[in-house]
Structure 1
């Protein structure tokens, strides 16, 4: 698989680094691609130009949020170092999709856009997870999809799941760059897909560092990831999430008979409908955490009426 991954980066005559963008279906290939695309692994002697080209010529049209968010983190790393990002060879159908959430604008301006907008009511576009705006996104996502698609139904599970994932970025990931989130409604599959990606230390590493600091035994990477799911467990409780944790997310997924994928370091965790859980360890290491949640909209609850501030006369 690593030999196959070398084909993603063919030598070019230009001094500009070219990243071929793929819609990977295998997790290992996605991780290898992320690691080899990052600024920290760039051969700056071979590619001295302060520019990067993202080439879409080999990209299939089935782009998902979990393809977009790692790409956004990669682009952010380069932009933070003064690199110019150029898109190349974008097929028409993919260009239409990217245009629906102003991806071209993102590649030009990046983190300068605090509250991005979308021309597609099924998409809440890339959102940079920053201290001054991250608390806006969970409620914005909830209201956006409730108003556009689910009038009378509650997307509270989406809101609190996103809030916890964003808390994870600031309180636990130790990421050198902000993370990104992206949410999309898939009417064909009756699901809302939301994804959060960061390039931090990873949950297993963070949990084991915490345990060792507190004179507790080190766990396997899988054991450390599962430890993070325990109720009330936190490596750094803050006022905004004290008493809560990743257990919140898993509980919501089970409640809605939905599914999730978590990749952190070399551990993959999956939960399927009917509460079937599965973990595995890979031979490659994701540089941080990638969360993907598919919420089954068929199981949304009816929104409860809010009480008025004063009783009617």
Structure 2
């Protein structure tokens, strides 16, 4: 039986997730956050969630990413040993400050270099704020951050099962399509509910931090948007995504060193 019919008709007490044909190396942050939102959604129907640990992916979710602690243990975040991952984080309004502090710590601990990473921290925390301010996801929202040290690529994914960007934008622009709403949402200074922390710069700051050889992807309601450098592409989808998924990558090789004027030699001025 299709799971939606099952949970809505109260005909199942348990849903088992199994991943027989997927390798752990093929998992991306997009898969992790969207799966977390789906599990959270199903669990709210008083359905027991189980993960088949006999598969490599199931064991990875259970042992390494500690998925069980989020639902059986009621955790919003669980620290893991893999230093390249800032593990799954349930995005709640009251967690804003804690999340921002943890992102700062992650960047400082992981990237002990002279690169200026302040814009990365801003983009990640703004993704959090966008969920809290506009998604109305009622706690069904997660972020996941992963670093590829070999290629110096930082991957960030944020997913929520809220109202979606299209529906949010239509509170102020009632007649726009989902594609038009996505284009509007990435415009600088556009906002549906201004807050002091971003004043409409949330998605634009995310786009700005995505480096020139990397894309930003937004999937919401019935459309997706992809940006690369100055190019913006949107397309209508043949299914409805009830919420928003934001995924972007940052190549740290493109980030310049932070200015440290106090260490420079100015003798040539004399």
Q: TM-score, normalised by structure 2?
A: 0.85
Is 1:247 the equivalent of 2:204?
A: yes
Aligned match of 2:268: none
- Answer 1 or 2: higher relative contact order, Cα 8 Å, separation at least 6: 2
| Cα 1:45/1:195, change in 2 over 3 Å | closer
Aligned pair partner of 1:231 in 173, 188, 197: 188
Corresponding residue SS for 1:168: helix
Q: Distance in 1 between the 2:132 and 2:8 partners?
A: 34
Corresponding residue SS for 1:118: coil
Listed as ranges, the matches of 1:69-218 within 5 Å are: 69-92=33-56, 95-96=59-60, 99-109=63-73, 112-212=74-174, 218=175
Q: Distance in 2 between the 1:46 and 1:97 partners?
A: 28
- Work out the number of aligned pairs and report it: 261
| Cα 1:84/1:45, change in 2 over 3 Å | closer
Q: TM-score, normalised by structure 1?
A: 0.75
Aligned match of 2:15: 52
Q: Distance in 1 between the 2:10 and 2:151 partners?
A: 42
Q: CA deviation at 1:98?
A: 5.2
Q: Distance in 2 between the 1:134 and 1:294 partners?
A: 22
CA offsets 1:62-106 (integer angstroms, 9 cap, x no match):
111100111111111233343322111542466246533322333
Q: Distance in 2 between the 1:86 and 1:96 partners?
A: 14
Corresponding residue SS for 1:210: coil
Q: CA deviation at 1:244?
A: 2.5
Q: CA deviation at 1:258?
A: 3.0
| 8 Å Cα contact 2:41/2:140 also seen in 1 | no
Say which is worse superposed, 289-298 or 99-108, in terms of deviation. Answer: 99-108
Q: CA deviation at 1:190?
A: 2.4
Q: Distance in 1 between the 2:165 and 2:141 partners?
A: 14
